[in-house]
Structure 1
Amino acid sequence: MAKKNDALEKEAACPVAANASSVREQIFHGLAGSYSAYDHCISTRLFPLKLIAGWTNLLRREEAIPPNSLVIAASYRLDKIFLLDVTTSKLSLLEHRRNGGIVPRRAVPEATPPGTDLHRWLGEMAERLSNGQVVVEPIDPLDGSTCGLSAFPRSGPLLSRAITRGIEVEGSSVYDPVQSSFIYSIRLRMLTPGEPGALNAAERGFETAQLRGRHWILRGADGEEEHVHGDGVVGRYPLLREGGWREDMQRGSSYSPTGLRVGETMEGTFIYQSMSGRGGHVSFGGEILLVPGELRNPTGAEFAVELPPFPLVVPEYIY
């Protein structure tokens, strides 16, 4: 697999040369998955043999890694580095701790048979690809040139999904060891006729619907709930229609229905990605509040679209 991955790396002899256009194109080619929120972007690449040798020698000289370890994968800024111990065959992630220390964390379940860590790690990702749990899509939802292997679950038990009045919402998260937190993805769209759960305009009661607010429910391991209310999502107020949305934005620091900046018409699904913080929560859910018509000209009463809870748990396989 490392040899075949040479085709992705091409001439990337220096994978952190920020101004090299060829490297920019490869940033999102991570075979071990990618994710982003705001200006935080992680794409973990399986290194070809040349880079395994180069980075291993460099980091050994700097005593940044144990002498018996190989650097087999990393994010493009080295936020995440995966090491393979050549004596035990254990695969580990160098994890940054809050106290400033860096310690290895095993990247596969502890019960993995000796000598099979890398095989199991790659096999698990291949299985997720084959069953549609992870897919190729833009890593930055607002930049179509960032296509890569998205780490956000798109099927299976780690994805939550619900349909309310023909509006579908999906939610999932990925653990980010770089910040010891979770990054979550919320996907919102109006279903089109012919899709399961779709309604026509008469059945829905509206042609368009605009996001007005959110109500998140974060649940802790002890069952305690934290409720978060707010207008829009980071200043965004998408106007949903069949097949796409309009990217309306808030002007200034406060919300006003008549003060929104009318944005560009977009196709596909509205996607919002953010960080959950380090609050020790185990699930994330809630509801999204929509207004029929437009916020400046509503055609009906506000209604809620349910977001069933999805888990915030550190996975057995770390990518």
Structure 2
Amino acid sequence: MDLESVGGLALQMIMEKLNPEDIARVSCVNNRFRSFTSDNTLWFKICSNELHLTQPLDHLGNPLPSFKEAYGTWREAFVMYPWSLVKRVKRCWDRINDWLTNHFPEAKSTLCKGASEAEIQELEDLLNVKLPLPTRLIYRFHNGQEISRLDHLDPDTNTFGSSLGIIGGYTFYDHLVNVYLLPISQVILQTQQIAHILEFLRRSKCVLVAASSMYTEKLFFLNCTNGQLYVGTRNLLSHRDMIPSVPINLVNLNRELDSEQIQDAMLLWLEEHGRRLQCGDIKLHGEGDDKSINLFPEKSPLCSTAVTNGVQVRASAMVIPELVDLQDDLEKYVFAYSIRLSLQPQGCVINGMSHSSCQLYRRRWIIRANDIVVADVNGEAVIGRYPLLRPGDKEFVYESCTSLPTSSGSIEGSFTFVPGRFADPKGDPFLATVASFPLQLPDYIF
């Protein structure tokens, strides 16, 4: 039996087993085969499997007449890149975009459309660098975040007041950080400006790709030579100190290897961030205009949870790279920690009796650098407040920081609560446990 005598249904099943390149070859055989290879259902499945497209769109989101044309347009737009890498970068952005659409559309609206090859080439020419392939593709899909949408620039402080950075941040005391991706125009401008101060950045082929709302607070630099992403420390200006944001052993820029293995730190960093968002390891905090992605871990083992007499205490910590001082032997690493207090629906239960509230009186926790106690915090209230916990109320959040001479340690302790309230106590004070949670320098730094 030759192919000419094969029925239509059988041919369709054969086509679905072929890859796009083979389908294109088959289409050249004759008009009958060309008709089967032009079937929109066939190309829908290809676009869905390879690009996760549900509508025929080009890489900029523009509608096209058919899925076959969409696939061809995608291949033509990225002909200079390994196709497997294109699909991987798209999956990375899809994960982030899906999360932003469902949880933080305000931030998603700040993402710019993809940059052109000409815009990327201009960056490379002006900064005398060659961007790694994965980062080029990252910008082809989204050219950072639109600065004008990130609130207004204060000319006196050179700061942006927005909390819409898609990388997110944290706050403790008066320290507020929220990181966003720079568009190419700002990559050029800000890299040129800071390179005048830090000449080594120019020599090491580093470009500024992400920054907090205040440029002097938290800066991420991509080294275009080795593909690593670095974040500046407290001594960036004085001692050129930066720390890697991704395990260097994962970075691989060797184009001679399988394209599936090509990955720079920028891609790995964004992939890990998208994973944390989708898995709920980090979440959106706040309401209205104060919403932001909060980087304090929300899940075990980096977040501990303990329930005592109905009082739930959740606690986690993270390194604050922009305050790390690698020149200081005693206070080298700075960790911020977040402690969240709430009362479960059954209320405060003491000896089988339920009370509708309880009020915090004292706190005590022990901070260790490795196994050595470096601080024993013991006193009344937290941040001068004595929060009253009631079922259904939002968590009371307390955030602070501590310095360690080592890159790892832990915190544990307890809070003293009065059942009822100070003005009308319903029993003796009790201790609510703060389960031990780690202080550690992570593999990925955000």
Which range, TM-score by smaller chain?
0.7 to 0.9
Structure 1: runs of 5 or more not aligned: 245-267
- CA distances 1:158-198 after superposition (whole Å, capped 9, x unpaired): 000011111111000111012220111000001125xxxx7
Is this contact kept in 2: 1:217–1:285, CA < 8 A? yes
Letter in 2 for 1:147: K
* 1:284 aligned onto 2:284: no
Is this contact kept in 1: 2:150–2:160, CA < 8 A? no
Alignment correspondent of 2:336: 183
Once the two structures are TM-superposed, the CA of residue 87 in structure 1 deviates from its matched residue by 2.0
Alignment correspondent of 1:72: 209
Structure 2 residue aligned with 1:92, among 230, 243, 254? 230
Q: Which moved further from structure 2: 97-106 or 171-180?
A: 97-106
Structure 1 residue aligned with 2:345, among 180, 192, 206? 192
Is this contact kept in 2: 1:31–1:149, CA < 8 A? yes
> Which whole-Å CA distance do the structure 2 matches of 1:28 and 1:94 have between them?
20
Alignment correspondent of 2:366: 217
Is this contact kept in 1: 2:304–2:314, CA < 8 A? yes
Cα distance change on mapping 1:14 and 1:160 into 2, 3 Å? closer
Alignment correspondent of 2:289: 145
* 1:101 aligned onto 2:101: no
Once the two structures are TM-superposed, the CA of residue 202 in structure 1 deviates from its matched residue by 9.0
> Which whole-Å CA distance do the structure 2 matches of 1:206 and 1:227 have between them?
31
> Which whole-Å CA distance do the structure 2 matches of 1:100 and 1:132 have between them?
38
Alignment correspondent of 2:312: 168
> Which whole-Å CA distance do the structure 1 matches of 2:431 and 2:313 have between them?
11
Is this contact kept in 1: 2:190–2:208, CA < 8 A? yes
> Which whole-Å CA distance do the structure 2 matches of 1:59 and 1:302 have between them?
55
Once the two structures are TM-superposed, the CA of residue 203 in structure 1 deviates from its matched residue by 4.1
> Which whole-Å CA distance do the structure 1 matches of 2:236 and 2:379 have between them?
29
* 1:206 aligned onto 2:350: no
Letter in 2 for 1:283: S
> Which whole-Å CA distance do the structure 1 matches of 2:152 and 2:239 have between them?
25
Cα distance change on mapping 1:176 and 1:316 into 2, 3 Å? same
Structure 1 residue aligned with 2:276, among 107, 120, 128? 128
Structure 2 residue aligned with 1:47, among 182, 185, 197? 182
- CA distances 1:93-116 after superposition (whole Å, capped 9, x unpaired): 122239942322211013213232
Cα distance change on mapping 1:145 and 1:202 into 2, 3 Å? farther
Once the two structures are TM-superposed, the CA of residue 14 in structure 1 deviates from its matched residue by 9.8
> Which whole-Å CA distance do the structure 2 matches of 1:288 and 1:128 have between them?
30
RMSD: 2.8
Alignment correspondent of 1:227: 376
Is this contact kept in 2: 1:16–1:77, CA < 8 A? no
Cα distance change on mapping 1:220 and 1:103 into 2, 3 Å? closer
Q: Which moved further from structure 2: 154-163 or 144-153?
A: 144-153
Greater C-alpha radius of gyration = 2
TM-score normalised by length of structure 1? 0.80
Q: More helix by proportion, 1 or 2? A: 2
- CA distances 1:236-274 after superposition (whole Å, capped 9, x unpaired): 100111112xxxxxxxxxxxxxxxxxxxxxxx1111111
Alignment correspondent of 1:9: 146
Q: Which moved further from structure 2: 126-135 or 217-226?
A: 217-226
Structure 2 residue aligned with 1:269, among 376, 384, 395? 395
Cα distance change on mapping 1:223 and 1:200 into 2, 3 Å? closer
> Which whole-Å CA distance do the structure 1 matches of 2:370 and 2:350 have between them?
41
Structure 1 residue aligned with 2:267, among 83, 100, 119? 119
SS of residue paired to 2:409: strand
Letter in 2 for 1:92: Y
Is this contact kept in 2: 1:3–1:49, CA < 8 A? no
Is this contact kept in 2: 1:96–1:102, CA < 8 A? no
Once the two structures are TM-superposed, the CA of residue 275 in structure 1 deviates from its matched residue by 0.9
Once the two structures are TM-superposed, the CA of residue 231 in structure 1 deviates from its matched residue by 0.3
Alignment correspondent of 1:253: none
With CA pairs under 8 Å and 6+ residues apart, which has the higher RCO, 1 or 2?
A: 1
Is this contact kept in 2: 1:91–1:118, CA < 8 A? yes
Once the two structures are TM-superposed, the CA of residue 18 in structure 1 deviates from its matched residue by 5.9
Structure 2 residue aligned with 1:242, among 391, 396, 399? 391
Once the two structures are TM-superposed, the CA of residue 201 in structure 1 deviates from its matched residue by 9.0
- Number of aligned residue pairs: 285
Letter in 1 for 2:387: P
> Which whole-Å CA distance do the structure 2 matches of 1:310 and 1:235 have between them?
24
> Which whole-Å CA distance do the structure 1 matches of 2:166 and 2:200 have between them?
23
> Which whole-Å CA distance do the structure 1 matches of 2:435 and 2:381 have between them?
19
Identity %: 28
> Which whole-Å CA distance do the structure 2 matches of 1:188 and 1:56 have between them?
42
Once the two structures are TM-superposed, the CA of residue 44 in structure 1 deviates from its matched residue by 1.4
Is this contact kept in 2: 1:95–1:105, CA < 8 A? yes
TM-score normalised by length of structure 2? 0.59
Structure 2: runs of 5 or more not aligned: 1-92, 94-110, 114-141, 254-263, 325-333
Alignment correspondent of 1:296: 423
> Which whole-Å CA distance do the structure 2 matches of 1:52 and 1:36 have between them?
25
> Which whole-Å CA distance do the structure 2 matches of 1:13 and 1:234 have between them?
30
> Which whole-Å CA distance do the structure 2 matches of 1:191 and 1:92 have between them?
42
Is this contact kept in 2: 1:34–1:41, CA < 8 A? yes
Letter in 2 for 1:87: T
* 1:60 aligned onto 2:195: yes
